[in-house]
Structure 1
Amino acid sequence: MDKGGDMASVSDFDPIAGSIPATKVELTVSFQLSTLTCVLFSFPPVCVLYTQGIETKQWREFGRTEVIDNTLNPDFVRKFILDYFFEEKQSLRFDLYDVDSKSPDLSKHDFLGQAFCTLGEIVGSAGSRLEKPLMMGAFTLHSRTGKPTPSRVCFSLQDVATMQFCANKLDKKDFFGKSDPFMVFYRSNEDGTFTICHKTEVVKNTLNPVWQAFSIPVRALCNGDYDRTIKVEVYDWDRDGSHDFIGEFTTSYRELARGQSQFNVYEVSADGAPPEPIKRTSQALGSQAATVLGHVPSTSLATQINFTVAIDFTASNGNPSQSTSLHYMNPYQLNAYAMALKAVGEIIQDYDSDKMFPALGFGAKIPPDGHVSHEFPLNGNADNPYCSGIEGILEAYHKSLKTVQLYGPTNFAPVVNHVARYATTEQDGSQYFVLLIITDGVISDMAQTKEAIVNVSNRGSAHLLCHRIPQLSSGLFPYTHSKKKIVGAQHPPATCQTADWVRGAGEEGQNWAEKRRSEGGAHMG
C-alpha cells in the first residue's frame, strides 16, 4: 500500500499553475463565392488569417489553410487555434487568394477579397457562427446577373476543452512494482458504440498518478453535445501491449465543466457496474476506493450577454458647457465618460447578438417638469430605452446633456434594480446581465445598493462594473462587484464644490446641504 505522503493531492494538481494552457478556441473558415468571382478568377483558393497587435495595430500573419481544388464554396479543413481573451478586442482579418503556383509569396497569387471581424464577435454570435461579406477594396463581391448572391465568409468556433486528471489508490497490477497508469477517453456514438478520442501519457510506477493537462476539441470529445456520455478507462501499461484494465467511469462534458468544487471526483469501477461519484470533500482523497479527480478550467455554454450602461448626471461633474466639466463635449476628442464607455462597451458589445443596449442616466432633473430622476432613458423613450450599439449610446448621451439639468444625489440602487427586473426572469444560465455604471463620486445610497446587488445575485446571473471618473482627488472607489462582494472603498473626496442641490427632500434635506457646505464644501455628488 502507498504511504499517505505519496498520494496525489490538490497541491500536486493545480489548475491555476502556469503549465495549464490558456483558453483556446478552434476557428473554422468557409466561403460562399459568387459566380462573378469565378469569372474573374480561376481557383484553387487559400485563406490567410491575420491578427492585429493590441498596441501596435499592425497586422501579422497567423496562419494559412490548405489549398482546395476548384470550388465555389471552399470549406477548409485546417483549423486555426487561437488564444482567447474576453477582456481584449482581438481583431482578425481573413484574406482569400487564388493560388497560381507553389510559391509561398502571396504577391504571386490573385487576391480575391477579405473580411474583418473580432474574435469576440464570433464567440458572441448565435451558435458561435458568424457570416461577413467578402470585400475587395471598398466593394463587396456579388453577381450582376439574376438574383444577387453576395460572396461571404463564414466563421464558426469549436470549443477546445482543457482538462487535467489525477488519481488515488489505483489497483496494483505489476508483480514487482506498482502500476504504470494511463487513461483512454471514448466518445459515445448514436448507435451505442464508443470511439476513442484521446489517450493520456503513461505515468510510471505509481498508484497515485498526476497526468499532464491536455486540450481537446469539444466536438471530438462529445460531438458538441454537452450531455453525451463520455467513457473513461484506466489501464496499467505493459511493454508488450497487453495493457491491464484497472477500471472505468462515465461522465459528460457538462458535468466536467460545472463541478461544485474545484474538482470533479469519480470512483473507478473495475466490474462494469456504474460508478458512483464520491462526495466532493477532502475525505474523498482518503477513501479506500480508487478515485479520479478531473478539472476543466473553462467552458462556454452558449451564454448571451445583455449589456446595460448607466451614466452619472450629478452636478459634481461640473457645468457641461465649461471645459472643466467631465461632461464637456469637446468637438475634437471624447470626454472622460465617453472614453470609459467605449473602452468597456466595445469589448462587451461583441457578446450581445442584437447590439441593442439600454442606456440610463441618474442624478438629474429631467423634462418636462424638472423632477429628479435616478433611472431615466438617455434616448428619452421610457418604453424603449435601447440604443443601437455603442455609437447609439454616445449619441443618446450627448443629446441628454442638452435636455437635462445636472443635480443629485448619486443613487445607484434604482439602475441596479432596473437590470434586476430583467435578470431575475432569466434563470437558466442562458442570459448574463452586465451593468456598467460610470460615475465621478461616491455612492449616496450604499445600503440600498448593496441590498439590490445581493437580491439580483441570489436570483439571476448579473455582474456590476462601476468605473469612477477621476476628478480633483485620488483614491480607490468601489469599482467592481462580483456576485455578492463589493471590492474597494474610500472616504468621499472633500475638495469639489458643486451646484446647490440637496440630498433628500424638504426641510431636512435643505438643512443637510447647508451643514455640509459649512463643513468646508464637502463633495456632494
Structure 2
Amino acid sequence: MQLCANKLDKKDFFGKSDPFLVFYRSNEDGTFTICHKTEVIKNTLNPVWQPFTIPVRALCNGDFDRTVKVDVYDWDRDGSHDVIGEFTTSYRELSRGQNQFNVYEVLNPKKKGKKKKYINSGTVTLLSFKVESEYTFVDFIRGGTQLNFTVAIDFTASNGNPSQPTSLHYMSPYQMNAYAMALKAVGEIIQDYDSDKLFPAYGFGAKLPPDGKISHGFPLSGDAENPNCVGIEGVLEAYFQSLRTVQLYGPTNFAPVINKVAK
C-alpha cells in the first residue's frame, strides 16, 4: 500500500509540517489498536510515503468492512506530535485501489467545531494497493505437496546403557522407550503426506559389527544400497534390531546424515 497527501495544514512555526500516518484497527468493544505507523516526511505539506505492507489480520482481523481509522500527525522532536486530522476507511474500500473514492478528506474535529468556514485539513490519496497471499503449510498440503520423511537416530553413549531404565534407549518389555515414542508420535502424522511410505532411516554415533568401526550414517535396515523402511512400523522394527547389534559410542555428529540426505 502507498499513500500521499496534499495541502495538509501547516503546523511548524518555522517550517511547514513533518507528517506521518498512524493506522488503527477498530475492536469489538469500540476501542482502537495501532496496527501501523508510516515514516515521517520532513518539512512538506504534500508528502508521499514509502510503500508498506501490513497483514490483513492486523489491519481488520479478517473483517473487510471493519472500520480502519487513520490519524495524520505532525512530528515533533519532543514527542508531543500535533494532530493534523483524521479519516476512516476499510479494507474493502482500500482494496478497490486508486480511484476517486480513495481520496480522503483529513478532518480535524477541533478546528471543525471552531471554524464555520472550515472545509478540511488536506487530503490523503491512495496511490496503490496490492494484496499478496502468504501461503501456509496447510495450503501447500492441500495443494498436493509431498513430504520426504527421513529418520536419524542418536546412538551415542550419552543416551545411557540400553539395559538400564534411565537410558533413552531402554528396551523395556512393557512400554516403548523415548526414541520409539517420538518416532511413533511424529511419524504416524508425517507418513500420511508421503505417498510411497518408504522412509530412509539412519543411525549415528555407534560402533558397528563386526569390526567395531564408528559410523555416523549407517542405515538401520543394514542395507547400504536400500536404507528405506516400510512405514513407521518398519522404522521401529529396524531401530530395535540395530539397538540389539550396535554399540553405543560417540561423538554426537549428525552432519554426515544431513549431507547424505541432502544429496
Same fold (TM over 0.5): yes
Percent identity for Structure 1 against Structure 2 = 58
Instruction: Give the match for residue 305 of structure 1.
Output: 147
**Alignment-mate amino acid for residue 14 of structure 1:** P
Instruction: Give the match for residue 432 of structure 1.
Output: none
Q: 319, 325, 329: which one pairs with 2:161?
A: 319
2:55 is aligned with 1:14 = yes
Superposition RMSD in Å: 3.3
Instruction: Give the match for residue 239 of structure 2.
Output: 397
Instruction: Give the match for residue 215 of structure 2.
Output: 373
CA 1:413/1:372 → structure 2, altered by over 3 Å: closer, same or farther? same
Output the CA distance in 2 between the equivalents of 1:376 and 1:305. 22
- Tell me by how many angstroms 1:330 deviates: 1.1
Instruction: Give the match for residue 363 of structure 1.
Output: 205
Whether the 8 Å contact between 1:167 and 1:291 is mirrored in structure 2 is no
**Alignment-mate amino acid for residue 219 of structure 2:** P
C-alpha deviations, 1:310-331, integer Å up to 9, x for none?
A: 0000111122122222111112
C-alpha deviations, 1:54-109, integer Å up to 9, x for none?
A: xxxxxxxxxxxxxxxxxxxxxxxxxxxxxxxxxxxxxxxxxxxxxxxxxxxxxxxx
Q: Could you say which structure has the larger radius of gyration?
A: 2
| TM-score, scaled relative to structure 2 | 0.56
C-alpha deviations, 1:211-269, integer Å up to 9, x for none?
A: xxxxxxxxxxxxxxxxxxxxxxxxxxxxxxxxxxxxxxxxxxxxxxxxxxxxxxxxxxx
Output the CA distance in 1 between the equivalents of 2:173 and 2:95. 64
Instruction: Give the match for residue 170 of structure 1.
Output: 98
Output the CA distance in 1 between the equivalents of 2:220 and 2:4. 67
Secondary structure of the 1:295 match is coil
Choose between structure 1 and 2 for higher RCO, CA contacts under 8 A separated by at least 6 residues: 2
More strand per residue: 1 or 2? 1
- Tell me by how many angstroms 1:164 deviates: 8.6
- Tell me by how many angstroms 1:7 deviates: 9.3
Instruction: Give the match for residue 295 of structure 1.
Output: 132
Output the CA distance in 1 between the equivalents of 2:166 and 2:126. 70
Instruction: Give the match for residue 340 of structure 1.
Output: 182
| TM-score, scaled relative to structure 1 | 0.29
Question: Any residues of structure 2 matched to 1:17-416 within 5 Å, and which?
Answer: 17=58, 19-20=61-62, 166-167=94-95, 170-172=98-100, 179=101, 206-207=102-103, 290-298=127-135, 299-300=139-140, 301-416=143-258
C-alpha deviations, 1:36-59, integer Å up to 9, x for none?
A: xxxxxxxxxxxxxxxxxxxxxxxx
Whether the 8 Å contact between 2:97 and 2:129 is mirrored in structure 1 is no
Output the CA distance in 1 between the equivalents of 2:92 and 2:261. 37
- Tell me by how many angstroms 1:304 deviates: 1.6
Output the CA distance in 2 between the equivalents of 1:332 and 1:308. 27
Output the CA distance in 1 between the equivalents of 2:22 and 2:103. 8
CA 1:168/1:6 → structure 2, altered by over 3 Å: closer, same or farther? farther
Output the CA distance in 2 between the equivalents of 1:8 and 1:354. 50
CA 1:169/1:333 → structure 2, altered by over 3 Å: closer, same or farther? closer
Output the CA distance in 2 between the equivalents of 1:333 and 1:6. 61
CA 1:351/1:20 → structure 2, altered by over 3 Å: closer, same or farther? farther
**Alignment-mate amino acid for residue 170 of structure 1:** Q
2:45 is aligned with 1:3 = no
Secondary structure of the 1:294 match is coil
